[in-house]
Chains A and B, each alone.
Chain A
């Protein structure tokens, strides 16, 4: 584990770590205790680095919802943009092993933020009859689906980008 390169958002940091190794293969096969300690420190540091990004992603999503609601037009394109940007941040913050979180998290986060914004901004959404519940649910769907779709597309784009870059890097190293 200590010798394994962890691809995180700190891809850059990972690359720096990789560059610092004069012989990556040798290093992977024969861990140098000093190098292992450094990598472990880096891994912890990178894990810590991801948290502010995740928090930033959440904050960005909330800000998008608040600004859109404040404009009086309901959740619109600003919320969609914020969701996409948040998803990119979240995807970059996750390590490769945790990429599934980057896919699974956005629908939940967007659903919760969208519903909260709707309930706070529109008092009529809290009605108890069937028609009101149905229209509120439909409104929620209309407001959140474009944001979810944009977020998932962004995560997918980040995933593809990272995979391509990682392969290129491996080819370069093996060459």
Chain B
């Protein structure tokens, strides 16, 4: 019996090694497969977790505003999934809590006088339209001195003043409620944002989906991260107000110089309007640099940029950075075009030089450009402006001020110069009730256009030199800017332009195309 058991055990012992060797491979294979599945599963979860943490790291700490909430009810209807983004450049020398920035910093780095200057003017207002299909981005710069109706029944003012007016109003009320300090500043700014957003929405007739607000310090800090930024100037410039002192041609700017570059307006032919082109060109240069260095797809490089954005930039609380990044590959890729919205002329209102605008025309242009509707056939702008005068550069315009309004001739001369005419004599004249336009030999066509913009007829004058036009501004003169004849080639790339729904000269100056380093005045 015992032997039988022993022999059975031996038999079992013989079978076992064979059994193990047969089953060994499948067991090992199964174990390897199990490990592989577990490891890859862990890898999937780790990848997902890293992405999740990275996104939340980026998103957390952004300064957000709910100012857009108040606008959504009365916003123009959305026709598709396109996105309209408003960039607001605030000319404030204070930090987010309303504290003055260090005096030395403001004077030496920002070259912006003292903290008391500038107030809360929105010196940069750029609406960017990103089509639903992610196509070419169209951006519109709103000249800061456009004289428009400020939302909230605040009357007509320069559009840049909407922010400050609303902020001051809100702060008066809040102070009466005992609110002060940083809280007062935050709530005041929120009111300022609401008024600016509502005013722009009302002025352009398109819904604003998102906004980003940056002040002087924010701009400086961002420029510091991306410096040096290459820009191109057509002419050398020197301006003691902004600190701009640049030669002509391509050059690299540091943060301080970049700020001077986008702030200079004195000494430029087109004044504020040239400054607008500078801002557009700078955005194009920065985008070009970020793209060419691969920053958009480099989380490490984006980190520095986001650190600054978190500190100095205010965005709306519904802005999903990720969705935006996906919607705007053409923006980050440089497929965008900037236009400066047209003005109807210059005038003095409430003792200040302002840009007169035709809101109906502006709305029509913007909506035609972003495909909401075709431009109105009876719109005076399109057909009238399609025939840009070729003789403007050879016409010298002398402006005499007989209106009694201080600075009227200088303003008029500046505006005509911005449109390509050569600046002539600017002088005062005995007060006259009528506005006259007199021309010399060879300047009849230009004179007629200028006269038409003043609602008068041009007459020949024997005493006027050949190629000259003499404009005498009378009491109560009105101006509507004549068509811009001056070509300002400022595109960075020589890409073939897509057919535009409106004539290119319907805007103030030529468009600035992103995708390179545009050369500007």
Contact = CB atoms under 8 A, between A and B. Distances in A.
Interface of A: 100, 103-108, 111, 124-125, 127, 129-132, 134-142, 144-146, 148-149, 152
Interface string B318-358: 00001101110100110000000000000000000000000
Contact of B48 (A100, A131, A141): A141
B412 to A, nearest CB: 47
Q: Main SS of the interface on chain A?
A: helix
Contact of B51 (A130, A132, A137): A137
A145 B54 contact: no
A138 B41 contact: no
Contacts of A145: 45, 48-49, 51-52
Nearest to B299: A134
Contact of A111 (B42, B44, B296): B44
B241 interface: no
Nearest to A139: B322
A142 B322 contact: yes
A135 B45 contact: no
B50 interface: yes
Interface in B42-78: 42, 44-45, 47-52, 54-55
Contacts of B47: 141
Given A100-B34, A130-B297, A124 B51 contact: no
B27 interface: no
Contacts of A144: 48
B443 to A, nearest CB: 53
21 contacts: A103-B41, A104-B37, A104-B41, A107-B45, A111-B44, A125-B326, A127-B329, A129-B333, A131-B325, A131-B329, A132-B326, A135-B325, A139-B323, A140-B48, A140-B51, A141-B49, A142-B322, A145-B48, A145-B51, A148-B48, A149-B45
Give the contact-size bracket for chain B.
20 to 34
Nearest to A134: B297
A130 to B, nearest CB: 5
B332 A131 contact: yes
Given A135-B322, A145-B52, A124 B44 contact: no
Nearest to B296: A131
A129 B37 CA distance: 31
A132 B134 CA distance: 11
A100 B37 CA distance: 10
Nearest to A129: B329
B134 A124 contact: yes
B250 interface: no
B38 interface: yes
Contacts of A141: 47-52, 54-55
B41 A139 contact: no
B10 to A, nearest CB: 24
A136 B326 contact: yes
Contacts of A138: 51, 54-55, 322
Q: Main SS of the interface on chain B?
A: helix
A124 B327 contact: yes
Given A139-B323, A141-B55, 4 more contacts: A107-B42, A131-B333, A141-B49, A149-B49
A131 B296 CA distance: 7
Contacts of B42: 107
Nearest to B291: A131
B465 to A, nearest CB: 58
A105 B41 contact: yes
Contacts of B296: 131
A130 B48 CA distance: 18
Given A124-B134, A140-B51, A142-B55, A135 B326 contact: yes
Most buried by B among A104, A108, A129: A104
A92 B42 CA distance: 21
Contacts of A111: 44, 48
Contacts of B50: 141
Contacts of A131: 296-297, 325-326, 329, 332-333
A148 B43 CA distance: 12
Contacts of A135: 322, 325-326
A129 B297 CA distance: 11
A71 to B, nearest CB: 16
A103 B39 CA distance: 11
B49 A132 contact: no
Interface string B4-46: 0000000000000000000000000000001001101110110
B301 to A, nearest CB: 13
A148 B34 contact: no
A132 B51 CA distance: 15
Nearest to B327: A124
A130 B41 CA distance: 25
A141 to B, nearest CB: 3
Contacts of B51: 137-138, 140-142, 145
A105 B38 CA distance: 8
A131 B45 CA distance: 22
B45 A148 contact: yes
A136 B323 CA distance: 9
Contacts of B54: 138, 141
Give the top 4 A-B pairs by smallest Cβ distance, nearest first. A141-B51, A145-B52, A135-B326, A145-B48
Contacts of A134: 297
A139 B325 CA distance: 11
A100 B333 CA distance: 46
Nearest to B38: A104
A152 B45 contact: yes
A132 B333 CA distance: 11
Contacts of B333: 129, 131
